[in-house]
A and B are shown apart, each in its own frame.
Chain A
Amino acid sequence: MGLPGELKRRIQMLFHREQFRRDLEEEMRLHLDLRRQQQLDRGLSPVEAARAAHLKFGNTTRIKERSLMAWGSETLESFFSDIVYGARALFRSPALTVVALLSLALGIGANTAIFSLLDAVLLRSLPVKDPQQLVLLGRGNSSGIGDNFVSTELYSYPFYRQLQQKNAVFSGVAAIFSMTDDVHGFVLNNEGESNTDSQLMHVNLVSGTYFPMLGVRAQLGRTLNEADDSSEGDHPVVVLSHGFWKRSLASDPNVLNRKIKLGTTIFTIVGVAHREFFGTSVGESPDMWVPMSMTKSVPPGWDAYNKNFVQSMNVIGRLKPDVSLAQATTNVNLLLQQITRGFSDAVLSQKNLNKLSKTHVPLTPMANGLSSIRQEFSEPLQILMAVVALVLLIACANIANLLLARSTARARELAVRQALGARRSRLIRQLLTESLVLALAGGMLGIGFAVVANRFLLRMVSDGFETLPLDIGLNLRLLGFTFAVTVTTAILFGTIPAFRATRLHLTDSLKDGRGPGGARAKNPLAKVLVVSQVALSLVLMVGAGLFLRSLVNLNHIDPGFNRENVLRLQVETDVTGYKEDDPRLNALFQQIESRVSALPGVKAASFSSFTFHEGSWSDAIFVSGMPNNENIEVHQNVVGNGYFDTMQIPLIAGRTFSTADTATSQRVAVISEHIAKTLFPPGNPVGHHFGLGDNKPEHDFEVIGIVKDAKFDSLQENSENVNYLSYLQRPWNFGDFEVRYSGDFSNISASVQQAIKSINHNVRISHVTTLDDQVARTVTNQRLVAQLSTFFGLLAVFLSAIGIYGLMSYVVSRRTNEIGIRMALGAARSNVSWLVLREILLLVAIGIAIGIPVALAADRLVANMLVGFKGADPVSLTAAVVLLLLVTSAAGYFPAKRASMVDPMEALRYE
């Protein structure tokens, strides 16, 4: 019989199983009848004849099965029936099934979701050509614009140009403006008209070498090139990101004919970047890239193209194939000295030269890209990863425990089936299939859960206005891994009892459940699982307690200003076209301040360059008669006259800004208490003069007042060096506007916005929120970790409780007989309960004893995430132990109670 014929027959067999079965039965029936006839002929009685025939014939079920097997169709057929049988068995014990499925889903889902985020933030390589060849000058933890003599993080554009020409180690160098500019721009149609309202666009200025050096191709049109960046101001071209093209231009194929208006300049769209390319900063995907040559045309119009000593660029290089990181570092540092000294406007003072000679630039591999969110989230994400990994362990232990208990309880069923002729391998395969059904169903749920959790997490880490642009597609490798771990657990522990049970002598198993033999059946594996679940849960609970307390402490830190009842919003004045030093701009600000202050319900209102956690402009200050340490950076905040009233930062000495301080009067400053104490000579600093930054005569300021310290960048910062300047003396192209109010937020918010629009309806208002919200958002990390670790901690305790419940219910049912005997002999019900509870408490105690040192060790790992206390926290530890004891006792209580309810007579008849 040829192979095709063979296959055809096999398939026919599959469909004609029933026919085959009937035939086989008939065949065997005939055989039996003939044999019986034969025995009758020999003179046996009909009953004896039938018996003899049957005896000789043997086990018909087994023959049928083996005959079917001879046809090779058994495997497939029994697989289907096993699946059906397995599903039915699972439906029969819904509680167990639900818990097992949830354990699996949460174990797989939480791990995959958090790892996917971790991967997107920390691990994934940039989607560019050979990312491992890319290096960054500096450490990549700084962004902004500065005017120092030398800096190791940010570089001036002319420096980049010189480095590009003179270096011997890079095959390509590119410069990226370290901030994206947020511009309200317009998309224009073919006729150059805008038919939509303005929209927020994140614009990244880059050198012309950016795309070629990264090896990023265009999806449409072309990318930027060196020619676009060759001379300042005359290359109004823009390359869109794939995301922006899709989102805002509906993937218009004729996009190359359209234009973008940023500020007052119209830019030609020359291309769309490749689909996968999101930029070089993880978590910051720009909407478009503009050549650095156009910097002045992109609001706010940074002037950095020709300034040798204005540092604003991140510089990245691509190492030549045979150049090591050490060689490149040497070359870059040599060039840093040469180029900095070589600039025609270099101030080669002794101080500057000293500083330069001490400067060393480290090179950082940047295969994974730059990221501001990386530092922020790497620690919390790693902690959460550890937490969910523990949850995965607990979930596995739980599944193992449940399946173990269940399958062991089925030992008798298995023995019966074996006695009826089922082969051992067949039984094992059936249990395997059942476990597989459970594990796969749980896995599917887990994937669904991961997808939901992923989006939820991303929203949690995003800042509230816009979702972080991260590609958080599920990490398939990790999904595979967690899937494999849980499925293996399920299969392993679902099947172990099958091996055990089927190895037993049948008669013993059939008799099992009778007499104390069953009660003695220890289950060390299950106990070890419960103990480890308890220990792990304790660790998670203690961790959750620490993070929660830390969060509470953090929220109780006094920021130095009153965070309640302050409305804050962003007023963008790009549309007016006024430059920073245009007096009309200050007039506009003053008008807004006075109009809003006069509104009912408004107590004070003021512009400021910063409020809280918004970056900074920092500069050294030089106080005459004091040793000047230019490394002490002082945050400079340019504010309106009403700022201190609005923020309620108390004045300690002197006065705050008044209308008497004008552009032509003596420049004045209000300093924080901390700088008054540390940077000024003893005594009252009011009346003292100091110099700012480059210490030029026009930057001479007189101290007019001292205010209480206020936090500037984070609640946890220690140094509160803030120097306040008046915008009437030091113009600033503002954004922040704060309003102290009383009454209803939304009413005030509406009337304030209306008032601003009534002065100039072109200005754009955005980011409307409260100061309290803004402060709260800076502890997102801590909140995220506290909430999630609490969730997972409780989950762990819950899973452990279920594990204990399962184990104990099983133990009680196994011991029903023994309990009945004890009670018949006079044991009190309470004694019986205690018998069961004692076992639970012992396991929990062992678990806690193991868990405590582990938890203490783990505390030390997270010590620098904690605020307000150090490491071992007795409160969290005690709380965790008490909670764990309560929950596990409750879990054990029900089986114990059931044990005490046993009716002795009933129990003795049991089985």
Chain B
Amino acid sequence: MKRPPDAGDILQGTLDMLILRTLLMGPAHGHAITEVIEHTSENALEVEQGSLYPALHRLEDRGLVSSQWGVSENNRRAKFYTLTSKGRKELSAATGRWHRMTRAIGLILGESHE
């Protein structure tokens, strides 16, 4: 059942960061988060639902997001996820790590910066 690796698959561990980044703009439910990530990345990134919900619950378990029930755009009961202050800190740390890493990889690949 293994599929060949695809650029569309989100690197392991970065999904958490992307979710946190998405929630920085305000509370959102699962579908909205997927939509935002996919649109913002111009459909280059595709969020597998199989990963999304476990990731959300993992984040909630770690106290990085909190959730409350609300009403969705189509008037259905939906669970909205909100970034906590702990989540904000984690996001900035993760973003820092990410920048450091992409820069390092860029250097190795010989890309110029600035």
Contacts and interface: CB of A to CB of B under 8 A. Distances in A.
B27 interface: no
B112 interface: no
Interface in B41-80: 48-50, 53-58, 61, 63, 72, 74, 76-79
B29 A70 contact: no
B53 to A, nearest CB: 5
B57 A34 contact: no
Interface SS majority for chain B: helix
A35 B34 CA distance: 10
Interface residues of A, number: 24
B54 A69 contact: yes
Contacts of A72: 61
A67 to B, nearest CB: 5
B110 to A, nearest CB: 37
Contacts of B34: 31
A375 interface: no
B30 to A, nearest CB: 5
Nearest to A68: B57
A333 B76 CA distance: 103
B61 to A, nearest CB: 6
B53 A1 contact: no
A23 B56 CA distance: 13
B74 A27 contact: no
B78 A30 contact: yes
Interface string B1-44: 00000000000000000000000000001110010000000000
Given A23-B79, A26-B77, A71-B61, A31 B49 contact: yes
B48 A37 contact: no
B53 A27 contact: yes
Contacts of A872: none
B76 A58 contact: no
**Most A CB within 10 A of own CB, among B54, B56, B74, B77:** B54
Interface string B66-98: 000000101011110000000000000000000
A696 interface: no
B30 A27 contact: yes
Nearest to B77: A26
A37 B49 CA distance: 16
Contacts of B74: 33-34, 37
Contact of B50 (A1, A63, A70): A63
Contacts of A16: none
Contacts of B49: 28, 31, 56-58, 63
A27 to B, nearest CB: 5
A24 interface: yes
B72 to A, nearest CB: 6
A27 B78 contact: yes
A30 B72 contact: yes
Contacts of B56: 67
Nearest to A23: B79
B18 to A, nearest CB: 17
A62 interface: yes
A67 B79 contact: no
Nearest to B32: A34
Interface in A24-50: 24, 26-28, 30-31, 33-35, 37
Contacts of B55: 70
B48 A58 contact: yes
Given A27-B79, A34-B31, A37-B74, A63 B61 contact: no
Nearest to A58: B50
Contacts of A37: 74
Nearest to A62: B50
A747 B74 CA distance: 102
A257 B92 CA distance: 87
B79 to A, nearest CB: 5
B4 to A, nearest CB: 17
A173 to B, nearest CB: 74
A67 B78 contact: no
Interface of A: 1, 23-24, 26-28, 30-31, 33-35, 37, 56-59, 62-63, 66-67, 69-72
21 contacts: A23-B79, A26-B79, A27-B29, A30-B29, A30-B31, A30-B76, A30-B77, A31-B29, A31-B30, A33-B76, A34-B31, A34-B72, A35-B31, A63-B49, A63-B53, A67-B54, A67-B57, A70-B57, A70-B61, A71-B61, A72-B61
For the complex of A and B, list the 9 residue pairs with the smallest distance between their C-beta atoms, beginning with the closest. Answer: A70-B57, A58-B50, A66-B54, A70-B58, A34-B31, A1-B63, A57-B49, A31-B31, A67-B57
Interface of B: 29-31, 34, 48-50, 53-58, 61, 63, 72, 74, 76-79
